[in-house]
Structure 1
Amino acid sequence: MFPRLALTRLRRLAVALSLAAVVPAGANVAHAEEVTVFAAASLKTAMDEIAPAFAAETGDRLVVSLAGSSALARQIQAGAPADLFISANTSWMDTLERDGLIRSDTRRDLLANSIVLVAHGKDAEKVTIGPDLDLAGLLAADPSGSGRLAMALVEAVPAGIYGKAALVSLGLWDSVSAKVAQADNVRAALALVATGEAPYGIVYATDASAEDDVSVVGTFPADSHPPIVYPAALTGSATSVAAERALDFLSGDTARAAFERQGFVILD
């Protein structure tokens, strides 16, 4: 039998060891903070990797809310308590800046992307995307009969806005607009193609790489749509040092590597 004092010390040692196993090295537990990040849905895979890396390095926690940039911007306009906003286009960030809802001095262009035409399955035939593409014919040939083109909301969500702009620029929009199946965000549009509910879709190149059940059949020319830029900024309500650390972390080596693995082009 161990003396009572020895047992007490053993229990304390066990507790200390268990805490050491779950608290990141170098973390200041007493001052750990949560940072709420509103991020475009197309950033999901990268943010899934970045959030735990940030926690391991700082002890602070990223709480990431993912949706279409338009929905997130409107939530910030309505007073949602976000600390950091990463948009998939500059327009929504411009809107928040005009409204005085971001800290303009922290705004930076973080990433660039491209849009692609994806098809259900892994062995779809490649096409050349240009004015001569018979996209309507491809949709009509869908064996399932749905013949839908999955896109994010074409008047609100950046991926949809870019996609429509490209189709209009190439003279293809009028022939397929009636067949467009609009989704709340680009990941939802991707899911329609992955599950076979739509034979084709227009998504970011980075989203396509995150889904095993789709294949990229063509990339839209860069000059067929506005540049795809992801700006990031602290919101007007962000006051913590942790939020500033989070924004800086997104430009650091660890985050840059995560973004590059998903196919993003680093701008900052």
Structure 2
Amino acid sequence: MTIFTVARNAMRPAYLPTMAHKVYLRVRHGHDRERKAALGWAGAHAQDLDAWGRRADPALWAESVEFARRLAESAGPKVDQVAAAGVDLGGPGGVELLYFLTRSLRPAVALETGVAAGWSTAAILGAVAANGAGQLYSSDFPLFRISHPERYIGCVVPEELRGSWSLHLKGDRRNLPEILSRVQEVGLSHYDSDKTRGGREYFLRRVKSHTGPRHVLVMDDVQDNLVFREHVARQPAFRVFSYQGKFIGLTGPGLAAVERGGR
């Protein structure tokens, strides 16, 4: 990161409001006291993801694990290229879970926040292609610490999957109203963007009126604060999975059907 790069990106009208908001949130929430309690709660409720998937639908879980393996293999050269440029976009978190859920729920509309390299995006789009129908709407904001950051967003998403993808790059608070004005009902939501309490609560409020009777929410890094715990107190069921040293939360009225193998 260079001061010059940040300043140059801040000069772009589409970037400045979201950049300023992100800086404010990091200053305000940098020492969140909730994290210790949230980490303890998530750890106490965590299940083994692989065991859960095999119980829910063994054949579909095996397909999902194989998709994750093939994606990691095909994305290898692109990952190496990005790493060589000194850019860290994070790893392939929850690919098999997102593929599995999308295949099981067969949502007409899926929504995700936080794209980065596009691992979760590729998982959902791969399942959409296997289903033969569906559309993914993604909300992201380019990494303003690097030069020309848009070129890296979704870089591991195969070209042949992009026809069912609508990508929005103005940040959640500008993207979500625009996306949700176009859709009636969201069948699957994946939240992996602003991990602060305010960011999570805004997302939950904004999508609430657009979720249907089979909706499932996936929320990454639920150990960062207590928002997911508070949210699931009003839900019929939830799951927490330990994944690569962090915790993924899963809830929604469609969870029961997923665990019955989509029936």
**Same fold at TM > 0.5:** no
Query: As a proportion of its length, which structure holds more helix?
Result: 2
Structure (1 or 2) with the larger CA radius of gyration: 1
TM score, norm. by length of structure 2: 0.30
Q: Higher relative CO (CA 8 A, sep ≥ 6), structure 1 or 2?
A: 1
- TM-score, normalization by structure 1: 0.30
